[in-house]
Amino acid sequence: MALPNTKLAAPAAGPPTARGGLADALDRHTTVGRLWRTENGKVRCVACGHRCLIAPGRRGICKVRFNRDGELRVPFGYVAGVACDPVEKKPFFHVLPGSDALTFGMLGCDFHCAYCQNWITSQALRDEEASTRLHATTPAQLIAAARRHGARLMVSSYNEPLITAEWAAAVFAEAQPAGLLCAFVSNGNATPEALDFLQPWLRAYKVDLKGFNDRRYRTLGGTLGHVTETIRMVHARGLWLEVVTLLVPGFNDDEAELREMTQFLASVSPDIPWHVTAFHPDYRMLDPRATTIADLIRAAEIGATAGLRYVYAGNLPGRVGEWENTRCPQCHRTLIRRHGFAVLENQLGAEGRCPGCGALVPGIWSYADHSPPTIQPAGSMGRRPRPVVL
């Protein structure tokens, strides 16, 4: 599959946007996109579920994909954030446990969640209070950084990676042959075109399922139907899928809504790991109280009752009992014991079989020729992200 030219665009004045100076800097780091078509004198972007029809000189909802002279220009050749993170932080619990992921992100998002914890990057083109810098880089530099830090995965995250899919594909196309497992951390507002474009390199995909109420989803900038369809599409394509729900009191913690949500996930596959994580007031959503231990455990129990075999409660390490651990669904033996991001014990081998009863636990337990990672000691959250210098 052809990839965008790695030569960066020449400096040029960008189309109108709320943050003109930042937009001008971003527009110098673009290339012609792959996920678009011409339609009635405009360009139809198909990177995310909004499918924006963009007139010449205008931008899509994400603010970073725009029509210049009848071509869709897309972000390329920079990062706004990069770190070496525990894979458990994504969170992926069934992908190379105990490994580190070289995680990179750009700017912009097709949603505008009021509680976004990455708003400095995701809302940089909408919010005057967001202040960030761009760092020009290449796929080779990111791969070299991953090797220096001993990372086993290359992950596109922090902002919404669907709207920067061409850059992710360019990085992944070099990272995969280098032995790195490639993954997305996404809001799930995908399209078949974007998934087909990424699939040659992508192995794992995490979806944020932000609730199960379409009206509330629209207040965040998305629609429930697009996200549930993405979950179906990702699973049908054979990508490893994990789903996370940030439990916000009064917003998405209604028992009936949680029951409907988890029944939907179980109908796609009972083997989808579902992470329910604790909210703390952040960004523009400061009124709801923080999620309690009891809230998390109640939601986790609803998920298990719905038929999900791998339910996890997160963000409150050491306080949610067995809900941090991976257990065999057949004999109930604890197979992976965790404390926050730290893996304290891992009894699963490369094939992912329970040593007690032989049951197969779905996931990606080995990749390339890497040896199993060293078991990590527990701290307040276990392993911490490490800054990366490119």
Domain-located, residue 92: yes
Total domains, the chain: 2
**What gap in Å lies between CA 230 and CA 222, rounded to an integer?**
12
Nearest alpha carbon to residue 64 among 7, 123, 5: 123
Max Cα separation, the chain? 64
Do 230 and 344 belong together in one domain?
A: yes
The ranges of the chain with pLDDT < 70 are 1-20, 118-131, 283, 285, 369-385
Question: Which residue type, as a one-letter code, is found at position 238?
Answer: G
Question: Which residue type, as a one-letter code, is found at position 27?
Answer: D
Coil/strand/helix, residue 356: coil
Q: Which residue, 75, 104, 122, sits at the end of a domain?
A: 75
Do 189 and 332 belong together in one domain?
A: yes
- The pTM score is 0.91
Domain-located, residue 14: no
Domain-located, residue 316: yes
DSSP state of 9: P
Domain-located, residue 329: yes
- Which structural domain range is residue 271 located in? 78-387
What pLDDT was estimated at residue 19?
A: 52
Do 110 and 200 belong together in one domain?
A: yes
Do 176 and 69 belong together in one domain?
A: no
Exposed (0-12), middle (13-18) or buried (19+): which is 280, by Cβ within 10 Å? middle
What pLDDT was estimated at residue 285?
A: 63
Name beta bridge partners: 311: 274
Our separate counts of H helices and E strands in the chain read 9, 20
Q: Which residue, 75, 91, 111, sits at the end of a domain?
A: 75
| CATH at 249 | 3.20.20.70
Whether 181 and 219 have beta carbons less than 8 Å apart is answered as no
Do 216 and 325 belong together in one domain?
A: yes
What pLDDT was estimated at residue 24?
A: 79
**What gap in Å lies between CA 293 and CA 295, rounded to an integer?**
5
**What gap in Å lies between CA 296 and CA 347, rounded to an integer?**
26
What pLDDT was estimated at residue 129?
A: 67
Do 30 and 151 belong together in one domain?
A: no
Do 45 and 169 belong together in one domain?
A: no
Domain-located, residue 291: yes
Q: Which residue, 41, 75, 109, sits at the end of a domain?
A: 75
What pLDDT was estimated at residue 384?
A: 64
DSSP 109-171: -S---TT-TTHHHHTTTT-TT-----EE--HHHHHHHHHHTT--EEEE-SS-GGGGHHHHHHH
Q: Torsions phi, psi of 4, nearest 5?
A: -60, 150
What pLDDT was estimated at residue 286?
A: 77
Do 174 and 116 belong together in one domain?
A: yes
Question: Which residue type, as a one-letter code, is found at position 5?
Answer: N
Domain-located, residue 1: no
Do 62 and 84 belong together in one domain?
A: no
Domain-located, residue 4: no
What pLDDT was estimated at residue 387?
A: 73
Do 305 and 243 belong together in one domain?
A: yes
Domain-located, residue 6: no
Do 173 and 191 belong together in one domain?
A: yes
What pLDDT was estimated at residue 379?
A: 46
Do 133 and 50 belong together in one domain?
A: no
Residue 247: both structure tokens together? 């439990």
What pLDDT was estimated at residue 10?
A: 29
Residue 141: both structure tokens together? 């530099």
